[in-house]
Amino acid sequence: MKARNKKIIIVDDDLSVQKILTEKLKCEGFECFGACDGKEALKIIRKEKPDLILLDIVMPRLDGISVLKIIKKNKDTRKIIILVLTNLSSSHTLEESLKAGVTDYLIKADYTLDDLVRKIKEKLHC
């Protein structure tokens, strides 16, 4: 399946991060949606049924770990690929994310945009 058939939701309260990721992923053919907090993300996820979610951890209203747990408990959303994309590198946060069912845990500073696109394409098999 090609990238143009794939939906990605970018969940990050930093609008500049959202904008950069959206522009790059749209250039790669993905359909992108953005959310600034966990509550907004859950609404978009239910409506759009994305193939992949880029999820930050520290956000207002509902943090990324809580969003991850809600997604993984719901039979309609539990199979969505979720990549945590955060600045938090603590082993506690990593362990909590893995326990909740994250597909992969990425530290923002460790990935270039091109690296991230390759990782997304790898996970989506496109």
Computed over every residue of the chain, the mean pLDDT equals: 92
pLDDT above 70 coverage of the chain, percent = 97
What integer pLDDT is reported at residue 2 of this predicted model? 63
Residue length of the chain: 126
Task: Confirm if 113 and 20 have CB atoms less than 8 A apart.
Answer: yes
CATH code of the domain made up of 3-124? 3.40.50.2300
Where in the chain are the domains? 3-124
What gap in Å lies between CA 71 and CA 82, rounded to an integer? 9
Is 68's pLDDT higher than 90?
Answer: yes
Q: Facing residues of 10 across strands?
A: 34, 54
Distance CA 47, CA 117 (A): 24
pLDDT at 100: 87
